[in-house]
Amino acid sequence: MYPGAFAYHRAKSYSEAVSQLRELGEDAKFLAGGQSLIPLMKLRLSTPGHLVDLNFIPETSYIRTNGALRIGAMTRHSLIAASPDVARSPILQDCAAGIADPQVRHMGTIGGSLAEADPTGDWAPVLLATGATVKTLGPAGERSIDIAEFILDAYNTALQPAELVTEIAVPKPAARSGSAYIALKRCAPVYASASVAVQITLSDHDTCSDAHVYLGVLGLTATRVPAAEEALQNGPVDGNTMEKVRQAVMDTAEPTSDMRGSAEYKRQAAGTLAKLAVEAAVRRARGEHVEVMHLYA
Ligand SMILES: Cc1cc2nc3c(=O)[nH]c(=O)nc-3n(C[C@H](O)[C@H](O)[C@H](O)COP(=O)(O)OP(=O)(O)OC[C@H]3O[C@@H](n4cnc5c(N)ncnc54)[C@H](O)[C@@H]3O)c2cc1C
């Protein structure tokens, strides 16, 4: 189906985009990669009268490594997946490389994904596990928002009217840290059925001194699993701990039955994904090079 009629506006800078959206009002939307917005418009589930295109604004797609890893909002998933600068936080590559298919990855942006806040999107659990910060620009100026305060609910963020995401900052991981993101998908071009993001830090004695565990697609937003983090912290990451993590994840997950599978199937899958993600994160924390693949079933 064709989208409804709309007027197209090409912004030359973020501040111009903010001004345009403020002037055009609630009938206007920013356009980034168009990989969520355009399908919704074609289905007439979204019918904006104006689109303000962010794609021609210079210096909005970048990956910088001075201190925190700074990723421009218009950076495509494919660029993140391929960037050697991202290697110190391999969880970002696990995520970016596993989003849909090459066409979607070459168009979709990290900023658009965060702004969309689709509960089945991959970036939220990953950026929560890494403790990222979202930089924004709006009519009231710039803001830095902790990712945990940025995502409010399904399709709902802390963005104010005419405010846009400009950058995502991922803190440099502590020494002996490792992270991993693993999703269960039915096939490549579809959203995940369940996913788990883990970031851990090991002490000199190889026990876990810090842990962050988040679930994706298993609730209305990405969900933290404090019981899994407690099970990991201050102890050896052995079989007993892994079983506690698996159980904590299964107890916390709130999946729903749908075309991707029954709630129970997803709950069991989440437990298994958690074990795999923790294992990969621990090996990476020890300095091993570990390729992480999503599970397709
Ligand atoms: C077939 C298919 C499969 C997909 N599979 C996955 C998947 O497995 N995992 C996954 O995570 N995603 C998936 N996606 C979504 C993809 O990641 C999109 O890139 C993403 O959801 C939206 O990013 P975008 O740049 O395309 O944003 P757009 O579609 O252009 O915009 C999305 C929304 O965000 C707003 N917006 C865009 N940029 C900004 C900004 N900088 N600041 C404020 N608001 C902004 C827009 O106004 C719009 O409301 C899939 C998409 C398709 C079409």
Give per-residue pLDDT as tens, 49-77. 999 999 999 999 999 998 899 999 999 99
Provide the pLDDT confidence category of residue 206 given band limits of 50, 70 and 90.
Answer: confident
pLDDT for 281: 97
User: Which residue would you say has higher pLDDT here, 206 or 218?
Assistant: 218
Locate the ligand 1 atom nearest the alpha carbon of residue 74 and give its number: 41
* Residue 171 · residue 144 · CB < 8 Å: no
Per-residue pLDDT at 87 exceeds 90: no
Which burial class, exposed, middle or buried, applies to 200 when counting CB atoms under 10 A from its CB (0-12, 13-18, 19+)? buried
Average pLDDT for residues 168-188, to the nearest whole number? 95
Per-residue pLDDT at 189 exceeds 90: no
**Mean pLDDT score of the chain, rounded to an integer?**
96
pLDDT for 124: 98
Per-residue pLDDT at 88 exceeds 90: no
- Say if ligand 1 is within 6 A of residue 162 CB: no
Q: How far is the CA of 39 from the centre of ligand 1 (A)?
A: 10
Backbone angles phi, psi at 213, to 5 degrees: -130, 120
Q: How far is the CA of 109 from the centre of ligand 1 (A)?
A: 6
Locate the ligand 1 atom nearest the alpha carbon of residue 189 and give its number: 3
3-class secondary-structure state, position 166: strand
pLDDT for 235: 85
- Say if ligand 1 is within 6 A of residue 39 CB: yes
Tokens, residue 95? 């995520």
- Residue 49 and residue 29: Cα distance in Å, rounded? 8
Mutate to test the pocket of ligand 1, among 14, 26, 31, 35 (most ligand atoms within 8 A of CB): 35
pLDDT for 171: 96
pLDDT for 226: 98
User: Max Cα separation, the chain?
Assistant: 63
Average pLDDT for residues 138-142, to the nearest whole number? 98
Per-residue pLDDT at 12 exceeds 90: yes
pLDDT for 242: 96
pLDDT for 1: 80
Whether this model's pTM surpasses 0.95: yes
Mutate to test the pocket of ligand 1, among 104, 105, 122 (most ligand atoms within 8 A of CB): 104
pLDDT for 104: 97
3-class secondary-structure state, position 1: coil
- Which pLDDT tens digit goes with each residue over 244-285? 999 999 999 999 999 899 999 999 999 999 999 999 999 999
Locate the ligand 1 atom nearest the alpha carbon of residue 30 and give its number: 47
Q: How far is the CA of 33 from the centre of ligand 1 (A)?
A: 6
pLDDT for 188: 85
| Least confident piece of the model among 42-46, 83-87, 195-199 | 83-87
Calculate what percentage of the chain has a pLDDT beyond 70. 100
Backbone angles phi, psi at 86, to 5 degrees: -90, -10
